[in-house]
């Protein structure tokens, strides 16, 4: 069966600048897909291509078996929620939400019932007569969502949907957004530069850099098995160690950097191949005395930061390797405890990410 939405070899050039570079991916119906990347990576351009505001230089978009190339934005079964919400300031909340329904020339009473349905969906009952300027940021965001959902699009695009909200509201809204998405079964594509947002929202994430889609996968795959140094570095905290493959010592590979490191992996290497090892902070344990475990070496603690749920340390190991590590506070942390200046770290051979160099 053909996928619900197919994006095939899309490229977009502005003069000489290649804003989107040969991007292809498919979406299943009801997916919540995030496009994640630093600003200027082409994710917003890609979103505007899907909405129909930008023409592609190459490639095509197909939604539910229908080719979208020559379809005007007004006729696409796609709606977009803009980053600044773009609510019509001279219209009431109800008229904002009903704008697209009036265009679809539905009868008045049907528009009315549909608008009140949507107001209920986003918990804004009784706010229909208010002007957008009298609403809070979170309420405006929900009006924008209701307006974008009004025409029952097959694909809903959200441009940084939570960027304008404060942290506390953001996590609530995130949860709410997921609930609505599940309830309606609409396919969502979310553009964001916030990796945490992408992780918590999405069923799948596409990481973009310099116009290219560098990796597509579930949040777990993106975090635990990044395929490039860029993805590893962009998503979450990570430390890198440069090493050379020395020998295979079943069940490990021995790799030599400033210290010898045992790596457990199914992958094959050439002897003397140069690779990058990457370590997530929470995979490293810090102890005050040596434990005799594998991959253990002494470090000097250069910096630490208290995060409430845990403490992040920056340590320097033999040969000047810099590592970040994270220790969660399973027991109440003591405010007057002196932070140690030296210690030992160890990490399991199968928690190491291996990247090409």
Partner 1 sequence: MRRDVPLLIKALGIAGFGILYIPVMIMIIYSFNSSKLVAVWAGFSTKWYKELWTDDILLTALYKSLLIGVSSATISTVFGLLIAIAFVRFSVFKGRLILSLVASAPLVMPEAVTGLSMLLLFIAMEISFGWPSGRGVDTIMIAHATFGMCFAAVVIQTRLRDMDKYLEEAARDLGGRQPFVFLSITLPLILPSIIAAWLLSFTLSFDDLVIASFVSGPGSSTLPIVIFSKIRLGVSPEINAIATLMILTISILVLFGSILILKREDKK
Question: Where do contacts with partner 1 occur on this chain (CB under 8 A)?
Answer: 51-53, 72-75, 78-80, 82, 84, 86, 88-90, 99-100, 103-104, 133, 147, 150-151
Cα dihedral angle (279, 281, 287, 288), rounded to 10 degrees?
110
> Shortest gap between Cβ of 355 and partner 1 (angstroms)?
39
CA–CA distance, 83 with 163 (Å, rounded to integer): 8
Closer residue to partner 1 in complex, CB, 92/171: 92
Closest to 113 in 3D by CA, of 126, 98, 96: 98
> Shortest gap between Cβ of 193 and partner 1 (angstroms)?
18
CA–CA distance, 183 with 280 (Å, rounded to integer): 35
For CA atoms 337, 340, 344, 345, give the dihedral sign.
Answer: positive
Q: Does residue 71 come out as left (phi exceeding 0), alpha (psi in the -120 to 50 range) or beta?
A: beta
The 3-state DSSP class for residue 315 equals strand
> Shortest gap between Cβ of 159 and partner 1 (angstroms)?
9
Closest to 95 in 3D by CA, of 141, 146, 134, 139: 146
What Å distances lie between residue 191 and 7, 34, 205, 279, 321, CA to CA? 16, 6, 10, 27, 35
Closer residue to partner 1 in complex, CB, 72/341: 72
CA angle 66, 67, 70 (to 5 degrees): 130
Closer residue to partner 1 in complex, CB, 84/113: 84
Closer residue to partner 1 in complex, CB, 55/104: 104
> Shortest gap between Cβ of 99 and partner 1 (angstroms)?
5
> Shortest gap between Cβ of 169 and partner 1 (angstroms)?
22
Closer residue to partner 1 in complex, CB, 3/73: 73
CA–CA distance, 343 with 300 (Å, rounded to integer): 7
Closer residue to partner 1 in complex, CB, 147/280: 147
The answer to whether 246 and 222 are in contact (CB under 8 A) is no
The answer to whether 141 and 153 are in contact (CB under 8 A) is no
Helices (H), the chain: 43-51, 93-103, 108-121, 137-149, 167-184, 195-201, 219-224, 229-234
> Shortest gap between Cβ of 15 and partner 1 (angstroms)?
11
Closer residue to partner 1 in complex, CB, 91/169: 91
> Shortest gap between Cβ of 26 and partner 1 (angstroms)?
23
Closer residue to partner 1 in complex, CB, 14/175: 14
> Shortest gap between Cβ of 86 and partner 1 (angstroms)?
4
């Amino acid at each position: 069966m053909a996928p619900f939405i197919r994006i095939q070899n899309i490229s977009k050039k502005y003069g000489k600048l290649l804003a989107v570079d040969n991007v292809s991916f498919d979406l299943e119906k009801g997916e919540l897909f995030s496009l994640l990347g630093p600003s200027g990576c082409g994710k917003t351009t890609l979103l505007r291509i899907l909405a129909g505001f930008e023409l592609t230089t190459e490639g095509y978009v197909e939604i539910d078996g229908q080719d979208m190339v020559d379809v005007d934005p007004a006729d696409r079964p796609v709606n977009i929620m803009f980053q600044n919400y773009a609510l019509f300031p001279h219209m009431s909340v109800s008229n904002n939400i009903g704008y697209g329904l009036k265009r679809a020339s539905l009868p008045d009473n049907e528009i009315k019932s549909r608008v009140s349905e949507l107001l209920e969906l986003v918990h804004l009952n009784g706010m229909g007569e208010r002007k957008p300027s009298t609403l809070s940021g979170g309420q405006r965001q929900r009006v924008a969502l209701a307006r974008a959902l009004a025409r029952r699009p097959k694909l809903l695009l959200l441009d940084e949907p939570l960027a304008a909200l404060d942290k506390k509201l953001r996590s609530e809204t995130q949860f709410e957004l997921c609930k609505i998405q599940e309830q309606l079964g609409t396919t969502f594509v979310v553009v964001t530069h916030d990796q945490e947002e992408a992780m918590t929202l999405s069923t799948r994430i596409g990481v973009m850099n310099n116009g290219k889609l560098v990796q597509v996968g579930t949040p777990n795959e993106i975090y635990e098995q990044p395929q490039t140094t860029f993805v590893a570095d962009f998503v979450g905290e990570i430390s890198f160690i440069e090493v050379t493959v020395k020998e295979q010592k079943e069940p490990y590979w021995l790799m030599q950097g400033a210290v010898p490191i045992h790596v457990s992996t199914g992958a094959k290497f050439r002897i003397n191949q140069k690779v990058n090892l990457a370590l997530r902070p929470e995979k490293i344990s810090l102890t005050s005395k040596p434990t005799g475990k594998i991959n253990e070496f002494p470090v000097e603690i250069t910096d630490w930061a208290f995060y409430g749920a845990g403490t992040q340390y920056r340590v320097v190991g033999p040969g000047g390797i810099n590592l970040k590590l994270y220790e969660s506070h399973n027991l109440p942390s003591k405010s007057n405890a002196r932070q140690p200046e030296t210690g030992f770290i160890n990490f399991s051979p199968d928690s190491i990410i291996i990247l090409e160099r």
